Structures are given as structure tokens and as C-alpha cells.
Amino acid sequence: MSSEEAEALRRRSSEYMQTYEFHVSRGMYALAIFDLEQALQPHVKARLLEEGVAYPRTHSISRLLELLAGVKNDDRLREVVRKYAVELKLLEEAYISSRYVATEFSEEEVVRVKRAVEEVMEHA
């Protein structure tokens, strides 16, 4: 895979973080949490490409992070993923529910998930 694809994924991740800010500023928390999922997913896929690994066609953040931690042999990333297991599960549920179920999220949930996403991105 190319460095151009990794760069495009990083840009997309950044754009979703911007839409997160827009949605959260308007109290649109279900869309904001979806944006966080959409920001993290391409970020992790870009990191996999940078490690020379073609990412699997999956939307499972947990699976992608497990793969990245294994490729990097990164115990700190594994620790962060364990620390935020609940928040990452909430992200995956937000991805699915955004398409099939009208699920609402609170501001507190969104803030907790954003903190998790930022720390995961820092260590991924």
C-alpha cells in the first residue's frame, strides 16, 4: 500500500475530528460519537499501512487495534486499548446504531469517548 493512501486516511481522520467539533458544539451527540469512530478507524488503518501491513476490510476498531498492537509488538498500545475497552465498545456500537437504530448518547459519554480516542491515537 502506498504512503499516499496513508496520508489520505490521516486527512480523512482529521476531517472527522473537525466534524466532531461541529456536531458536539450543537449538541448533536449521536453524530459526534459517530464522527469519533470515523476518525479513529482511518487513523488506525493509516498506521497499519505505515507499518507495511495491508489493513483488513473491517469496521471493528478493536480488531484493527489488536492487529496494530501485534504488528508493532506494542504493550503500551495494548494497555491503552484495555484501559478504554468500554469506550471503544461504545464506539463500535455507535457505528452500527448510526445506520440501523436511533440511539442517543449523552454529552458525558461523548466526552469520555473523545478522551479515549485521543489517547488511543496518541499511542497507535
Instruction: Specify the DSSP class assigned to residue 2.
Output: -
Q: Report residue 1's pLDDT band, with 50, 70 and 90 as the boundaries.
A: low
Class of domain 3-123: mainly alpha
Question: Nearest-CA neighbor of 113 among 95, 86, 76?
Answer: 86
Rounded to two decimals, the pTM is 0.92
Instruction: Specify the DSSP class assigned to residue 56.
Output: P
Assign 52 to helix, strand or coil: coil
The C-alpha atoms of residue 1 and residue 77 are separated, in whole angstroms, by 23
Average pLDDT in the chain: 93
Q: Which residues of 19-36 are buried (b: 16+ CB within 10 A; e: fewer)?
A: bbeebbeeebbbbbbbbb
- pLDDT tens-digit series, residues 30-50: 999 999 999 999 999 999 999
| 42-46, 67-71, 96-100: range with lowest mean pLDDT | 96-100
